[in-house]
A and B are shown apart, each in its own frame.
Chain A
Amino acid sequence: MRTPIACLAAVLLVVAGCSNETTGAERGTPGDPSAITLQVSGEREETAAYRAIVQAYENDHAGSDVELVQVAEKDDHLTKLATSFAAGDPPDVFLVNFREYSQFVARGAVQPIGDLLEERGVDLGDYYEAPVEAFSLSGELQCMPQNVSSLVTYYNVDLFQRAGVDEPRAGWTWEEFRATAEALTRGDVRGVGIEPSIIRVAPFVWSNGGDIVDDLDEPTRFTLEMPAARQAVEFVVRMAHDELIPTEREIGAQDLETRFVTGKLGMLLSSRRDTPAFREVRGLNWDVGPLPVSREQVGILHSDAYCISTGTNVEAAADFVAFAAGEQGQTLAALAGRTVPSLRSVSSSGAFLDPTQPPRNAQVFLDAVSTLRRTPVIPTWPEIEDVAEEYLTRAFYDTSYTVDRFIEELNAATAPLFAEGAEQLP
């Protein structure tokens, strides 16, 4: 019996030895000022773009070394970040959405990036304002936005032709939107896919002249009970009750994206993130249009940024971020199809507005930029969104659940989270 145990111990040591050796070689010697780690999440196409950026950066900067850590799902990405921050071993640079970054700022985990980029010749005036503003807290740019995506109307051109309805155009009204959805709803085809989440409902509220919270910078509560906001919620919820939106059972069988690519959904409200997937589907004839308008055209910001962790290799990390968020980095990201570049010059270039690739109306994403508004950035906002989704789901699919009851219960459930968020605000 002694021999097998000795063997096991030997194997264990060898495995430890081997992996240690390679780790050392790949990461560069410890304390090497030019070696950094970058943690990103996303699908393969998206992470392929980051790999290309890392490659280009290493070719451009002799002696630099960037280790790319790719995590498939966003939730796993946040778990891994939280664990490594708690353990004091975070990645030097990580990519995060503006709706989630403030919890890292609140914990003192983010090195404000504004001055570092200025030293490296980055002019924020070359970038769109909306994402730069969203990633600024306490008067400082915390993380460097790489994209400026927003909600648009994806639509199935063939289904529109079959139903004989006009394609979405700038300034189309809520009435036209609803009438289009009604005309498209036929057999197992539904008019439009809208997720029951606050970030999908918010642009309707804003377009109608309402607000989702009482104060964007220091929110204390949702304000969906105000007439303009309530009317917008009612408008969206009624579309769900009238089954112009796929029912809960239908979504249980096939999610909205799948229904769209199989021709069972005329329109889908989504951000740029669905573009790479829809490009892959053979025989799907699709395009994008603007959101419908009640009083004014308003879009909702979706943006991710590169954040630098405090206490890590800050200088080398800033060199990399300046490159990745710069012209070459953003061009590489735009070519992969997933991002709407936050750098104006790249957004108007062929890398983004490639006429040979759908969507033909890619300009819609750029036209939306000047109309963008955003959700608050308090640290508890991700939890507030989760709770809101729970109640909105009920409001969408349970016809006996009135809008007034929804608003009342949502306010009660989220009040403590708003209070907690205000305390954590840096």
Chain B
Amino acid sequence: MRRLARSTAIILGCAVFALPLVFMVLGAIRTPGLPPPDGFEWIPDPVRWANFRSVFGFIPLWDFVVNSLIVVTIAVPLTVLVGSWAGFAIVSSGPRLRTALLAGSFLALVMPATSLWIPRFVGFRWLGLTDTLVPLIAPALMATTPFYVLLFALVYARIPKALFEAAALEGLTPFAAWRRVAFPLGRGATFAVAVLAFIWHWSNFVDPLIYISTEERATVPLALRALQTLEPTNHPLLMAAAIIATVPPVVAFLLVQRTFFTRALEV
């Protein structure tokens, strides 16, 4: 009886979260040009799968997807690597330095992003890198956000000190200690940061808006924004593009979730 109640609760919870997805799919298979549905419409008549093809003809969506994929392919591993190193550095430093590093990270975390727009733009312009993908990837060199660094630090801090002391006695360098002890044991954080960083970079809108001016170098969020300005009768195309844009993060999550849920909780 209790199990039944539990399953019902889970199914209901899932249904609530699935609703926006359902609306997105139903919206994507309506025929463009017709007045938007009056009230709620279950299955559009006729169902028009061709929207998924025609949206590519409407805007160069494929270019946008490729650019976004380039960004995440480089930025996500880089974020994980830098975040993990920085987190390990915080945990392995002496008490004074650690406090300073933690305080610095928190300070960077609460800094409003808008205050950095102009200085960063000036910097990248000086380097001649505006209107390239580099400014979109560059935050990964700083682990994208200090939050990921703190997440790694938190997880590594829970690894028993004795393990690192043993590693030091074995003559392992700090880098080897990170590679052979901290990184494998903190896998949960790695997966969490990878997924979060993927979503962060995939849906980053402001940076491409500011840095990218040529359409061939634009990323997916700019494409969705452009489609958003379509009149309501053409919103099926926006919905179709939204589904296409949702696929990569979902695939990325599915790829890591099995590992995440089986191993992450061991730490």
Chain A bound to chain B: yes
Which A residues have a C-beta under 8 Å from some C-beta of B?
1, 4-5, 8, 11-12, 15-16, 19-20, 22-23, 26, 37, 39, 42-44, 67, 69-73, 76, 79-80, 83-84, 86-89, 91, 254-255, 257-258, 261-264, 276-277, 280-284
Instruction: Kindly state the separation between the CA atoms of A257 and B229 in the bound complex, as whole angstroms.
Output: 13
7 CB contacts below 8 A, A to B, read A12-B134, A22-B216, A37-B213, A72-B226, A80-B209, A280-B233, A283-B35
Interface residues of B in 120-142 (CB under 8 A from A): 121-122, 125, 128-134, 137
Interface pair A44/B36, CB less than 8 Å apart: no
CB of B179 within 8 A of chain A? yes
Interface pair A282/B125, CB less than 8 Å apart: no
Q: How far is the CB of A142 from chain B (nearest CB, A)?
A: 24
Interface pair A87/B231, CB less than 8 Å apart: no
Interface residues of B in 193-212 (CB under 8 A from A): 206, 209-210
CB of B234 within 8 A of chain A? yes
Which B residues have a C-beta under 8 Å from some C-beta of A?
33-36, 38, 58-59, 70, 73-74, 77-78, 81, 117-118, 121-122, 125, 128-134, 137, 175, 179, 206, 209-210, 213-217, 222, 225-226, 228-234
Interface pair A23/B209, CB less than 8 Å apart: no
Shortest Cβ distance from B136 into A: residue: A15
Instruction: Kindly state the separation between the CA atoms of A317 and B254 in the bound complex, as whole angstroms.
Output: 51
Interface pair B35/A284, CB less than 8 Å apart: yes
Which residues of chain B have C-beta atoms less than 8 A from A71's C-beta? Answer: 209
Interface pair A76/B209, CB less than 8 Å apart: yes
Q: How far is the CB of A77 from chain B (nearest CB, A)?
A: 9
Which residues of chain B have C-beta atoms less than 8 A from A91's C-beta? Answer: 213
Instruction: Kindly state the separation between the CA atoms of A254 and B40 in the bound complex, as whole angstroms.
Output: 12
Interface pair B58/A44, CB less than 8 Å apart: yes
Interface pair A70/B215, CB less than 8 Å apart: yes
Interface pair A261/B36, CB less than 8 Å apart: yes
Shortest Cβ distance from A23 into B: residue: B131
Cβ-neighbour of B70 out of A15, A83, A276, A282 (below 8 A) = A15
Which residues of chain B have C-beta atoms less than 8 A from A44's C-beta? Answer: 58-59, 226, 229-230
Interface pair A19/B134, CB less than 8 Å apart: yes
Which residues of chain B have C-beta atoms less than 8 A from A258's C-beta? Answer: 36, 232
Interface pair A42/B229, CB less than 8 Å apart: yes
Interface pair B74/A15, CB less than 8 Å apart: yes
Cβ-neighbour of A87 out of B73, B74, B122 (below 8 A) = B122
Q: How far is the CB of A64 from chain B (nearest CB, A)?
A: 18
Interface pair B210/A80, CB less than 8 Å apart: yes
On whether A73 and B231 interact (CB within 8 A), knowing A12-B137, A19-B217, the answer reads no
Which residues of chain B have C-beta atoms less than 8 A from A69's C-beta? Answer: 213-214
Which residues of chain B have C-beta atoms less than 8 A from A277's C-beta? Answer: 231-233
Interface pair A89/B209, CB less than 8 Å apart: no
Interface pair A4/B77, CB less than 8 Å apart: yes
On whether A12 and B230 interact (CB within 8 A), knowing A44-B59, A88-B122, A262-B36, the answer reads no
Interface pair A20/B132, CB less than 8 Å apart: yes
On whether A87 and B226 interact (CB within 8 A), knowing A12-B134, A262-B38, A281-B33, the answer reads no
Q: How far is the CB of B48 from chain A (nearest CB, A)?
A: 14
Interface pair A73/B213, CB less than 8 Å apart: no
Q: How far is the CB of A362 from chain B (nearest CB, A)?
A: 19
Instruction: Kindly state the separation between the CA atoms of A108 and B187 in the bound complex, as whole angstroms.
Output: 54
Which residues of chain B have C-beta atoms less than 8 A from A255's C-beta? Answer: 232
Q: How far is the CB of A219 from chain B (nearest CB, A)?
A: 30
Instruction: Kindly state the separation between the CA atoms of A72 and B209 in the bound complex, as whole angstroms.
Output: 10
Which residues of chain A have C-beta atoms less than 8 A from B81's C-beta? Answer: 5, 8
Q: How far is the CB of B210 from chain A (nearest CB, A)?
A: 5
On whether A15 and B132 interact (CB within 8 A), knowing A72-B229, A88-B122, A280-B231, the answer reads yes
Instruction: Kindly state the separation between the CA atoms of A71 and B228 in the bound complex, as whole angstroms.
Output: 12
Which residues of chain B have C-beta atoms less than 8 A from A37's C-beta? Answer: 213
Instruction: Kindly state the separation between the CA atoms of A26 and B214 in the bound complex, as whole angstroms.
Output: 9
Which residues of chain B have C-beta atoms less than 8 A from A87's C-beta? Answer: 118, 121-122, 125
Interface pair B33/A83, CB less than 8 Å apart: no
Contacts A20-B128, A89-B125, A263-B35 known; list 15 others, CB within 8 Å.
Answer: A1-B179, A15-B133, A43-B229, A67-B214, A72-B228, A72-B229, A73-B225, A73-B229, A87-B121, A87-B125, A89-B130, A277-B233, A280-B33, A280-B233, A281-B35
On whether A280 and B78 interact (CB within 8 A), knowing A16-B134, A84-B121, A262-B35, the answer reads no
Shortest Cβ distance from B37 into A: residue: A262
Which residues of chain A have C-beta atoms less than 8 A from B231's C-beta? Answer: 43, 257, 261, 276-277, 280-281
